[in-house]
Amino acid sequence: MIFNLKYKVSKLKMSSSQYLVFSVVGMKYYGNHEFCLNDEEHITLKKESNNTHDRNAIKVFVKNNHVAYISSEDNIKVNKFLKKNKEEQKHVDIEFFSSSEHRATFMLKGIQSNNQVTIQS
C-alpha cells in the first residue's frame, strides 16, 4: 500500500483519536537523510508486507527516494490510523516535529474533508 500525505496548515482542537505521533528511523542506512519542514509536502509511506524483519514495516519516501522506515514501535499504529481515516473519508496531514541523527518525529492528523488519503496497492 502507498499512502500519499499532503500537508496543510490547520489550527484545530483535536482529540487523541484525531492525531498520532510517531517516529521514523534508519536514516543512516538510506543516505543520512535529514528531515526538514520542506519534506512534509513530499512524503509518501509505503507498506512493505514482504519485509523479512518486520511484516508490518512501512517505508518512508521523500520525493520518491526511500529515506527511512517508521519505527517498529509505531508502524502498526500508523497503519491502523491511516486505514481508519480512509474509512471515515478524512484527509490525513503530516507535520514534522523534530529530527536527530537517528530518529525523526512526526504527527499525523485526521481532518474531515471531501478528500481521501490516496492508497495504492
- Stretch 18-44: mean pLDDT, rounded? 85
Task: List Cβ neighbours of 42 (8 Å cut-off, separation of 6 or more).
Answer: 62, 63
- Stretch 58-66: mean pLDDT, rounded? 91
Top mean pLDDT of 22-26, 37-41, 99-103, 107-111 is at 22-26
Asked if 72 and 48 touch (Cβ cutoff 8 Å), the reply is no
Whether CATH 3.30.70 fits 2-7+18-120:
yes
Residue, of 27 and 113, whose pLDDT is higher: 27
Q: What is the pLDDT of residues 70-120, one digit of tens each?
A: 999 999 999 998 888 888 777 788 888 888 778 888 888 887 654 333 443
Q: Please report, for the chain, the start and end positions of each structural domain, with discontinuous segments joined by +.
A: 2-7+18-120
